[in-house]
Amino acid sequence: MLNLSVILIGERSHAVQRFFWEGLFRRPVGGLRASDPGPFYLRGKTLPGGETRDLYLAGGRITFEPVKDAKTLATGGWLLPGLVDAHAHLALASPLARGSMAQRVRASARAHLDAGVLLVREPGGPDRSSTGLGPHEGLPRVVSGGQFLAPPDGYFPGLAREVPAAKLPAAAAEEARASGHWAKVIGDFVSPDGNLVPHWDRDTLRKAARAVHDAGARIAIHAVVPQVIEDAVEAGFDAVEHGIGLQSEHIDAMVDRKTVLVPTLLIREAVPEALGSMLRPQARSALNGWIASWPRMAAEASRAGVTVLAGTDAGMGPHGMVSHEVARLLDAGLRPEAALGAASWAAREYLGMPGISEGAPADLILFDDDPREDLRRLRPPRIVLLEGRLIRPS
């Protein structure tokens, strides 16, 4: 969910974030700096299992076999696979207020990296400028979804690729092939008469899901209205984004179909501000009711077995805030293990990235204490490594 008023904001908030992170991250680790390529050695308790392991990082990969001349980074602490923001829009609300789109998406990606986020899922954007970003540029891995897909006049002006219903399946498959990962459909929005309305019928959504799956990718839907959530799940969509109007009766079907929920609770206060003035009173009242139950429904879905991932909807707000989303999930009622996993190992597994295992990419963060005991300890990790390269401290 995006608000045009925030597309060019973020410079001040980013400066504050950088002041916070830079001050806390610059603790020396044996005199090493980010330019040091390794190989490295770490010993610590690994999550999610909690086993104490000896890790060696060489050639950008993890191995449990000793590596000659490895430089010691840590001999204690808690090791996690790198953090994940499963819903962020790098082209929007960039900390770089001016510059080309390519420069702006990279500035947003660096803000995530500063926060220990080593994998970003971007379920759609105004263009495809985030496709292909990754460690080869010293940036987090990015799993992209191409352009937003909406019907004509069905989203914020200028942000979506507009297609009629008959062309949605082909357009979704095209975006999926272009991104190599996902396609993103805008399922509902405010109508000219001030109501929140579905954009597509179930059959159209089913055809779009089939076309994307045939292209070897996944498909997500921006969904506020309960009917849209139900239709998308029944149509075979892989992920519901936001899911503000989620109802208890949707959850069993989500479990059965393995539909993922990315609730983006961090924008809970911003949604009425973004949409409220556009809605007629009855629609505004319905939206407020869904917002009130939104955290509780996310927790209910998690307890029932729905995979819940942590996404900030950065673009509607600043980038690099996934620790705050984890805290929101915890406050909503998710177990600490589930809330943290939603931004680390569970999210990485869902997105096809291994955790701490032999041969896995050396995308790691280390905390001095068990972060599950106080999820605020996600700020800051003492060590951040991206593909075996020391990012923090620098």
β-partners of residue 141 are 119
pLDDT, residue 8, reads 36
CATH number at residue 317: 3.20.20.140
Q: Which of 388, 344, 375 is nearest to 82 (CA)?
A: 344
Query: Is residue 303 located within the same domain as residue 226?
Result: yes
Same structural domain, 281 and 335: yes
Residues 56 and 164 in one domain: no
CATH number at residue 372: 2.30.40.10
Q: Do 178 and 217 belong to one domain?
A: yes
**How do residues 288-344 score in pLDDT, each as one tens digit?**
999 999 999 999 999 999 999 999 999 999 999 999 999 999 999 999 999 999 999
Shared domain for 244 and 333, answered yes or no, is yes
Q: What pLDDT score does 27 carry? A: 39
Let me know if 50 is exposed, middle or buried by CB neighbors in 10 A (0-12, 13-18, 19+): exposed
Domain hosting 176: range is 4-9+82-350
Q: How many domains are contained in the chain?
A: 2
What pLDDT does residue 153 have?
95
pTM for the whole structure: 0.91
237 lies in the same domain as 361: no
Residues 289 and 365 placed together within one structural domain of the fold: no
Residues 216 and 269 in one domain: yes
Q: Are residues 95 and 196 in the same domain?
A: yes
The residues of the chain scoring below 70 in pLDDT are 1-36, 377, 394
